[in-house]
Amino acid sequence: MVGAGRLRGVSDQRVVALLGVGVVPADTPILRADDLGALRGDGIFESMHVRSGRAWLLDEHLGRMAQSAARMDLALPARDRLVELAGQVLAHWPTDVEGALRLVCTRGLEDAGGAVTVFATASAVGEGLKQARRDGIAVVTASLGFPAELRRSAPWLLGGAKTLSYAVNMASQRWAQSVGADDVLWVSADGYGLEAPTSTLVWLDDSTLCTVPVNRTGILAGTTARWLLDHAESLGWTTAERMITPTGLTRTSGAWLTSSIRGVAAVRTLDGAEMPFSAEHTGRIRDLLGFA
Amino acid sequence: MVGAGRLRGVSDQRVVALLGVGVVPADTPILRADDLGALRGDGIFESMHVRSGRAWLLDEHLGRMAQSAARMDLALPARDRLVELAGQVLAHWPTDVEGALRLVCTRGLEDAGGAVTVFATASAVGEGLKQARRDGIAVVTASLGFPAELRRSAPWLLGGAKTLSYAVNMASQRWAQSVGADDVLWVSADGYGLEAPTSTLVWLDDSTLCTVPVNRTGILAGTTARWLLDHAESLGWTTAERMITPTGLTRTSGAWLTSSIRGVAAVRTLDGAEMPFSAEHTGRIRDLLGFA
């Protein structure tokens, strides 16, 4: 697929399509100044890994997007229209390049009464993410300030919705970098590890692969973590949803942050202390998830 | 100023200008799909009241925008360039129409290395906001879940920065409407009133006009509230920054939510209970602030 698409206005390493329009040159502005996505981060998105020209776990991501839309009271278009949009982008994506497919749905124009704006992009996976897969990452904890179970009873805090309002997510990662780390593990006021700004916490306790319960905490339901746990039997592991503290994590057989594009990144240090690490476990998880 | 501007591609009741470009037709898309403002709500903004064709408290808003940029590590353009941009929009705004001027600065394109995107819009003030000024509003409390002073020690939570990531702010207001109210007062886990999703809490305690301390709580520094307190002497009131609970608010001489566009809205009920209210006080505040 390298060729026609790229030559007809599709810029190198990025493809953009608009719902109802199709593929447009990637440098075309697509959001108006009065789009609530531009003004308020008022919308939702999904990111998917593109391998051999196809979006991995597309169904699961579309399912989560529908759940985000419900929590945000957003009129997400029908699933087949989103599948078609994703297909338009992927038809122009070179099959030999690892990619990230994003689907974005904003609340639309400020005065449009709920008619959403939907677009999709494909772009290349950055070298930094690939390196994190190989080498693991240094993680520091940062408090979200509230108790682990608070968001269950506070729907206005949008627990479990993957919104476009990622300023705090990005600021958390910048803060991690400012203290010499790669990423953050958000913790609750009562001391539990919750999730990372763009990934899900999993850890191995003896031969049980664990993650944080979604409904109890209001964290985002990680599609990669869910798929991993659903297939952990093939690695000889049972699975469980548990609460865990940062100190508890240091006593496990290893911890990872999983996400759609970075895939799996071993937590090599936590708040500066070395974490249990197994190159073999990490490699087997990476292979099972299908990341290079 | 009704005339030339409107006829040359400036749509009715909305003017849009881009930094470095100038005024463009209001229905022109201006943000690319890979702009971090569109993808992550990663940017900052200010809203100002436009009266007689001029932006009220422009200097104060530009000062706050610079503070937001510092907290977000954003390379906001120089103040005179932003003033020029605002002037381009206002030159096309009819002087007889009450307006809202927005200045927006996003982190720019994903791969642009920090070159920001800046635009400005002017639009008409909605009837609902004007009605709230006249009639006051029903307010319900909603917890942010964390203690009042938490954000002092958690810079990654971006306390005091007016970011584009307003999904929770908007969800809080939708939640208020879903329970039959007009707006939310966010409260801390330890029971203090903090701020509203798009406005600042002020209240009258005998003859002392009070608001919530900014530095102690990490709330946004309200420009309208600040100006009001700085000029409260002309109403015969002293001023103070205090912490207060919702129960405490019911024992005051009245409470208001102040903001740039809605101006001042009297809190008529709080969680369904009638609040102390003085039409005279409310009118005097509104007049002092210069709202019709």
Q: What is the pTM of this model?
A: 0.95
Grade residue B159 by pLDDT with cuts at 50, 70 and 90.
Answer: very high
| Buried/exposed code over B85-123 (b: 16+ C-beta within 10 A; e: otherwise) | bbebbbebbbeebbbbbbbbbbbbbbeeeeebbbbbbbb
- The kind and range of the H/E element at B158 are none
Instruction: Give residue B192's pLDDT.
Output: 98
> Are B42 and A167 an interchain contact pair (Cβ–Cβ within 8 Å)?
yes
Report the pLDDT value the prediction gives residue A4, as an integer from 0 to 100.
39
Check whether residue A44 and residue A167 sit in a common domain. Answer: no
pLDDT exceeds cutoff 60 at A10: no
Q: Say yes or no: B144 and B164 in one domain.
A: yes
- pLDDT band of B163, cuts 50, 70, 90: very high
**Interface test mutation site (partner B, options A15, A153, A165, max chain B beta carbons within 10 A):** A165
Same domain, B276 and B174: yes
**Where residue A152 sits, what CATH number does that domain have?**
3.20.10.10
* Residues A82 and A47 reside in one and the same domain: yes
Label residue B121 by pLDDT band (50, 70, 90). Answer: very high
Backbone angles phi, psi at A64, to 5 degrees: -70, -35
A to B CB pairs, distance under 8 Å: 188
Residue B1 is predicted with a pLDDT of: 35
Based on the domain organization, do B67 and B172 belong to the same domain?
no
3-state SS, residue B165: coil
Q: How far apart are CA B161 and CA A142, in angstroms?
A: 18
Q: pLDDT confidence of A84, banded at 50, 70, 90?
A: very high
Give the residue from chain A lying closest to B28, CA to CA.
A32
Judgement on whether residues A269 and A188 belong to the same structural domain of the protein = yes
Number of H helices, E strands in chain B: 10, 16
> Could you say which of B81, B107, B125 is where a domain stops?
B125
Q: Average of pLDDT values for A157-172?
A: 97
Contact: B32, A27; criterion CB under 8 Å: yes
Q: Do both A143 and A114 map to the same domain?
A: no
Read off the CATH number of the domain in which A94 is found: 3.30.470.10
pLDDT of residue B120: 98
Write out the H or E segment, with its range, that includes residue A238.
Answer: strand A238-241
- Residue-level pLDDT at B12: 62
Q: Which residues of A touch B41 (CB under 8 A)?
A: 40-41, 163-167
DSSP assignments along B96-154, one per residue: TS-EEEEEEEE--BTTSTT--EEEEEEEEPPHHHHHHHHH-EEEEEEE-SS-TTGGGG-
**At residue B5, does pLDDT exceed 50?**
no
Look at residues A94, A125, A156 and tell me which one is the last residue of a structural domain: A125
Q: Which residues of A touch B161 (CB under 8 A)?
A: 167
Do residue A40 and residue A71 come from a single domain? yes
Q: Are residues A115 and A136 in the same domain?
A: no
Whether the pLDDT of residue B8 is over 60: the answer is: no
Q: Nearest Cα to A108, choosing from A85, A76, A82?
A: A76
As a residue count, chain A comes to 292
pLDDT, one tens digit per residue, over B242-271 is: 999 999 999 999 999 999 999 999 999 999
A169 and A240 part of one domain: yes
Q: Quick check: A250 pLDDT over 60? A: yes
Here the ipTM equals 0.94
Quote the domain boundaries for residue A75: 4-125
- Portion of chain B with pLDDT greater than 70, in percent: 96
Q: Is-contact A168 A158, C-beta < 8 A?
A: no
Number of domains in chain A: 2
Written as six digits, the tokens of B113 are 């290395």
B107, B37 Cβ separation under 8 angstroms: yes
The per-residue pLDDT of chain A, averaged, comes to 95
pLDDT at A145: 94
Q: Which of B90, B125, B160 is the last residue of a domain?
A: B125
B255 burial (CB, 10 Å; 0-12 / 13-18 / 19+) is buried
CA distance B235 to chain A (A): 35
Facing residue for B146 by CB, picked from A145, A161, A166:
A145
Cα gap A50→A100, rounded to integer Å: 6
Together in a domain, B214 and B121: no
- Based on the fold, state whether residues B161 and B281 are members of the same structural domain: yes
Q: Tell me if A33 and B119 make a contact (CB, 8 A cut-off).
A: yes
